[in-house]
């Protein structure tokens, strides 16, 4: 007799032996292919919609050297000592002894004026002096005679031969001659001073160089009138010519007051004359004039040449680069094309290419050098910036770069 089945056995599911299960790779492969196709489609559409831009690499403003430029400016070569030489008196020019480019020394005769009238007046003064001296000699002789007469009268009065009135008369005559003699001595002094005055005026008819230099302009010709002040009408010259002390040449620069903190006395400067663009002239800051021009918002800076050269001439246009050895300015400057800087909402910005997308950054522009701008913040050396950015370019947009 068989044993009864347990209720649990009735619930057991009987598994029939069959073929072992096998993995089918086709569904997974199809799914992977679909994903790859979808990614390629998205990539293709994103590349097709990217904005094509031109880029340029930001470069270090220091040029890789230990000394870098912290400020660029322009100015002119000026002479610290120059003068338009004129006469002390108004007169007619008789002779001009200068030409442009002539070197002159201190005290050298440059021109002569008509001195005929002054010469005549000097002759009169000399004659008056001679007359005064002759009159003095006559008075001295009369005083000597009057003194002897007074002494004889005193002796006669003691012997009661001469009266008191005779004695008083002799005494008064002697004293009068003494006073007249003193006056004539003063007259001689006056006559001497008069002669000296006319001699000085004679010397004023000769125009001399006030210091060593070079004649840069010749402003008068023989026969013209010259005066130390303008006489009006345009027919009277106010100077014979202009003389420049070439040893006093320096550079005068107007620096914007926003950047004057980058300049200090003794700072090295590299100057470049517009006439000689390949010639780098070593200079240094002489002084910063302690006042600002309220109209131009600039401060005047004097820059001196380390060594003068005959090619350096007054009033030449010059560009200067203020250099720094590490202590004049803070930060690190980079140079990018000027066309890469845009103005947005009152700020200077650039677009930097990062991982195929445009990234907008605010920058600080220190200076502009020709077609380049110098930045002190916002962009690092080696990064690529967008030049002439399209009007539709926005932050985060995909870009296709084309290097300049």
Query: What's CA 274's distance to the chain center, in Å?
Result: 15
Q: Calculate what percentage of the chain has a pLDDT beyond 70.
A: 83
pLDDT of residue 301: 95
Residues 142, 176: one domain? yes
Residue 206 makes CB contacts below 8 A (sequence gap 6+) with: 109, 111, 112, 113
Asked which of 203, 222, 253 is the last residue of a domain, the reply is 203
Q: What is the pLDDT of residues 167-212, one digit of tens each?
A: 888 888 888 888 888 888 898 999 999 999 999 999 999 999 999 9
Kindly give the interhelix angle for 164-204 and 116-158, rounded to the nearest 10 degrees: 160
Residues 399, 253: one domain? no
Residues 320, 269: one domain? yes
Asked which of 278, 303, 324 is the last residue of a domain, the reply is 324
Mean residue pLDDT of the chain comes to 83
pLDDT of residue 213: 93
Asked which of 267, 302, 324 is the last residue of a domain, the reply is 324
Residues 153, 287: one domain? no
Residue 79 has pLDDT above 50, yes or no: yes
Q: Is residue 273 part of a domain?
A: yes
pLDDT of residue 311: 93
Q: Is residue 379 part of a domain?
A: yes
Residue 385 has pLDDT above 90, yes or no: no
Range of the domain at 102: 83-113+206-244
Q: Which of 207, 211, 218, 221 is nearest to 244 (CA)?
A: 211
Residues 236, 251: one domain? no
Residues 389, 349: one domain? yes
pLDDT of residue 403: 55
Confidence of residue 163 (pLDDT cuts 50, 70, 90): confident
Residues 317, 263: one domain? yes
Q: Which of 382, 381, 404, 395 is nearest to 351 (CA)?
A: 395
Residues 57, 104: one domain? no
More confident residue, 43 or 281: 281
Residues 91, 161: one domain? no
Domain CATH for 266: 2.40.30.170
Confidence of residue 41 (pLDDT cuts 50, 70, 90): low
Take residue 351 and report the two structure tokens written for it. Answer: 């677009």
Residues 101, 216: one domain? yes
Q: Calculate what percentage of the chain has a pLDDT beyond 90.
A: 36
Residue 329 has pLDDT above 70, yes or no: no
Q: Is residue 255 part of a domain?
A: yes
Confidence of residue 35 (pLDDT cuts 50, 70, 90): confident
Q: Is residue 12 part of a domain?
A: no
Q: Is residue 40 part of a domain?
A: no
Residues 239, 250: one domain? no
Confidence (pTM): 0.56
Residue 64 has pLDDT above 70, yes or no: no
Give mean pLDDT, residues 91-101: 92
Residues 162, 145: one domain? yes
pLDDT of residue 343: 84
Domain CATH for 395: 2.40.420.20
Asked if 278 and 232 count as a contact pair (C-beta separation under 8 A), the reply is no
Residue 1 has pLDDT above 80, yes or no: no
Q: Is residue 300 part of a domain?
A: yes
> What's the number of domains the chain is made of?
4
337 three-class SS: strand
Q: What is the pLDDT of residues 65-76, one digit of tens each?
A: 445 778 889 999
pLDDT of residue 274: 92
pLDDT of residue 233: 55
- Give the C-alpha separation, 153 to 147, whole Å: 10
Pairing of strands 59-60, 334-337: antiparallel
């Amino acid at each position: 007799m068989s044993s009864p089945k347990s209720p649990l056995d009735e619930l057991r599911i009987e598994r029939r032996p069959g073929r072992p299960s096998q993995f089918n790779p086709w569904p997974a492969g199809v799914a992977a292919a679909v994903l790859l196709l979808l990614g390629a489609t998205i990539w293709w559409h994103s590349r097709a919609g990217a904005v094509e831009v031109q880029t340029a690499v930001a470069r270090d403003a220091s040029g890789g050297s230990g000394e870098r430029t912290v400020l660029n400016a322009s100015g002119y070569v000026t002479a610290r000592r120059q003068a338009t030489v004129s006469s002390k008196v108004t007169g007619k020019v008789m002779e001009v002894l200068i030409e442009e480019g002539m070197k002159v020394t201190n005290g050298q005769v440059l021109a002569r004026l008509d001195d005929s009238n002054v010469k005549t007046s000097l002759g009169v003064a000399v004659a008056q002096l001679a007359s005064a001296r002759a009159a003095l000699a006559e008075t001295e002789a009369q005083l000597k005679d009057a003194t002897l007469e007074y002494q004889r009268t005193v002796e006669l009065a003691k012997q009661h031969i001469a009266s008191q009135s005779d004695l008083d008369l002799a005494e008064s005559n002697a004293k009068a001659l003494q006073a007249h003699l003193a006056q004539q001595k003063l007259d001689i002094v006056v006559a001497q001073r008069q002669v000296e005055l006319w001699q000085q005026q004679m010397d004023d008819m000769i125009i001399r160089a006030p210091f060593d230099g070079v004649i840069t302009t010749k402003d008068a010709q023989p026969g013209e009138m010259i005066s130390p002040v303008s006489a009006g009408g345009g027919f009277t010259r106010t100077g014979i010519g202009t003389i420049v002390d070439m040893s006093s040449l320096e550079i005068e620069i107007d620096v914007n007051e926003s950047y004057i903190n980058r300049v200090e006395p003794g700072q090295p400067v590299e100057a470049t004359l517009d006439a000689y663009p390949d010639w780098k002239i070593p200079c240094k800051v002489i002084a910063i004039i302690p006042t600002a021009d309220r109209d131009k918002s600039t401060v005047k800076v004097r820059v001196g040449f380390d060594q003068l050269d005959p090619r350096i001439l007054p009033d030449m246009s010059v560009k200067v680069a203020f250099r720094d050895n590490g202590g004049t300015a803070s930060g690190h400057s980079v140079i990018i094309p000027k066309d890469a800087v845009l103005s947005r909402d009152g700020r200077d910005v650039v677009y930097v290419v990062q991982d195929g997308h445009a990234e907008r950054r605010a920058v600080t522009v220190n200076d502009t050098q020709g077609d380049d701008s110098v930045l002190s913040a916002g962009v690092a050396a080696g990064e690529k910036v967008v030049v002439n950015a399209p009007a539709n370019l926005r932050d985060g947009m995909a870009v296709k770069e084309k290097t300049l």
